[in-house]
Amino acid sequence: MAPVFWGFRAMFYGALLMFGTVFYATILRFRRRLWSAKKFHRWLMWMTPVGILAILGGWVTAETGRQPWIVFGYLRTSAAVSNLAPGEVLFSVLGFCLIYAVMLIAYIGYIVHTLRIGPERDHPDFRSDPPDHPQPALDGRDVSVETVGAQAGVR
């Protein structure tokens, strides 16, 4: 029962956190404080993995909660399992773990590289030669919806 219990809570409270965050962000936006709310930005950073954790929790809930059925009330898992040799299963599981681990490392490497470049590269005013007076990309002023739309259009 433990996986179902904790999986469901991870999903449910994760969803509440995300709804709350979006709701609070909307309030900040209407009060034109979203761009300058430093604490909220820090909070958003910590919120990054919540979506994935909620997905995983929901998935664990669904899969473990349904056992011993694979299709509830119609087909048992023991009757639906593939007729595979142990070596084939081992090959695919180990292969997936290995490949995803390598891809994760490559992905982190790429993300770190991109973060080092920073968001300025894709800014409309960006010039590759360093300007005399460097401007921060996010200058703390909230901008009108039209400007945000125009910037999003550029990207």
126 near another protein (CB under 8 A): no
What number of chain residues touch another protein (CB under 8 A)? 16
Find the shortest distance in angstroms from Cβ 141 to another protein.
Answer: 27
Nearest partner of 11 among 45, 51, 58, judged by Cα = 58
Torsion of CA 37, 43, 45, 46, to 10 degrees: 180
103 near another protein (CB under 8 A): yes
The stretch near another protein (CB under 8 A) out of 50-58, 60-68, 105-113, 142-150 is 105-113
Site string for another protein, 127-146 (x = CB under 8 A): --------------------
Toward another protein, which CB reaches closer, 68 or 87? 87
151 near another protein (CB under 8 A): no
d(CA 28, CA 32): 6
Find the shortest distance in angstroms from Cβ 79 to another protein.
Answer: 11
Site string for another protein, 81-100 (x = CB under 8 A): -xxxx-xx--xx--xx--x-
The stretch near another protein (CB under 8 A) out of 33-41, 54-62, 76-84, 137-145 is 76-84
Q: Which residues bind another protein (CB under 8 A)?
A: 82-85, 87-88, 91-92, 95-96, 99, 103, 106-107, 110, 113
